[in-house]
Amino acid sequence: MSNSSTGSKALKVGVFYDGSYFNHVSNYYNYVHPHHRRVHIGGLHEFIKHMVAEREDTRPSLCHIIDAHFFRGRFSARDAMEKNNQLYYDRVFDDVLMYNGVQSHYLPVKDLMGRKREKGIDVLMALETYELCMLKRFDVVALIASDGDHVPLVRKLHALGCKTMLLGWDFEFTEQETGELQTTKTSTDLWNEVSYPLPMHDLIEEGLKDDDEVVRDLFVSRDSRDLEPEGDRPAPQLIDETRHRSAVMSLMNGYGFIRFPDNNVFFRHEDLDGLTFEELTIGSELEFQVAINHRGQRQAKNITWPKEETV
């Protein structure tokens, strides 16, 4: 199956995503982390190939991702219609997965005691991963996951003679709106069980600091953020040249809303001019222009601190 000579060993790699976890990590880098970019699936696959090659003493060009699968819960069409543009974003992300050769697997999101919950995703992911590994005999399975419930899967994969690589993140941040500390940690048991644990939070920080090309390409380019395929998102168009003045109503992770009739106006951190998102608080007075984005929504642009009024 593989040429055994050093540096010329071809490997079959499978990549399996816990979809909710990946989206959480991507949102963190887009809205909270100073880099303010989403994780790019194509770039992540290239990164995996380099990491497998490094640990298996071969070349990245010989590490072939022959299967990639994404597992997540999905809202019903009725529930998605009640969320602003949820159907659109679901379709856009499906396009991203399709363009990158990733097969998606869904289970319905259930209403449990008044809250929407994913049920059975970990089990589905484990069964599909194990079955595909038996059929296709991967040399390495890369998991984008954090839950200790995946430990039995990892042990079963090792019993098949397959090595495992874990891409996991540990990070924490303070929620702007609530002031609460949000923490994401990967299971210690899972870290200890896999063949090749990759602490992605550290690897990314080091790579960005060193301007490593492979790490840099882990993120989408600035003109293709927010999950849209490159070139599909035109810039918002200003309604007119009028500058408005109003107060911040809410702040999330890298975006927020400004009070504005009739239904407030959305803004992103990159729309700020001469100030940083971290300087903002609820009630901060801002000046801005109003634009219409590609989804027909109003968006604040060219946002500044109010100019000093002359007497």
Consecutive H or E run containing 71 = strand 63-74
- Per-residue DSSP letters for 239-291? S-S--EEEEEEEE-SSEEEE--TTT-EEEEGGGBSSS-GGG--TT-EEEEEEE
Consecutive H or E run containing 122 = helix 121-136
Say how far apart CA 166 and CA 128 lie, in whole Å: 17
How many C-beta atoms lie closer than 10 Å to residue 194's C-beta? Answer: 23
Token pair of 95 as six digits: 């396009």
Say how far apart CA 111 and CA 103 lie, in whole Å: 26
CA trace torsion 180, 278, 27, 260 (10° rounding): 100
Say how far apart CA 216 and CA 207 lie, in whole Å: 7
Q: Within the chain, which residues score under 70 in pLDDT?
A: 1-7, 83-85, 112-116, 175-179, 222-234, 253, 294-296, 309-311
Token pair of 138 as six digits: 């991967």
pTM: 0.72
| Residue labelled with tokens 């048991």 | 189
SS3 for 200?
A: helix
Beta pairing class for 237-238 and 196-199: unpaired
pLDDT score at 206: 96
- Contact status, residue 7 vs residue 58, Cβ threshold 8 Å: yes
Token pair of 37 as six digits: 């970019």
pLDDT score at 226: 44
How does pLDDT run across 106-163, given as a tens digit for each residue? 998 877 665 667 778 999 999 999 999 999 999 999 999 999 999 999 999 999 999 9
CA trace torsion 286, 292, 294, 295 (10° rounding): 90
- Domains of the chain in sequence order: 11-223 (3.40.50.1010), 237-304 (2.40.50.140)
How does pLDDT run across 89-109, given as a tens digit for each residue? 788 888 889 999 999 999 988
Token pair of 234 as six digits: 């035109």
Question: Distance from CA of residue 81 to its chain's centroid?
Answer: 23
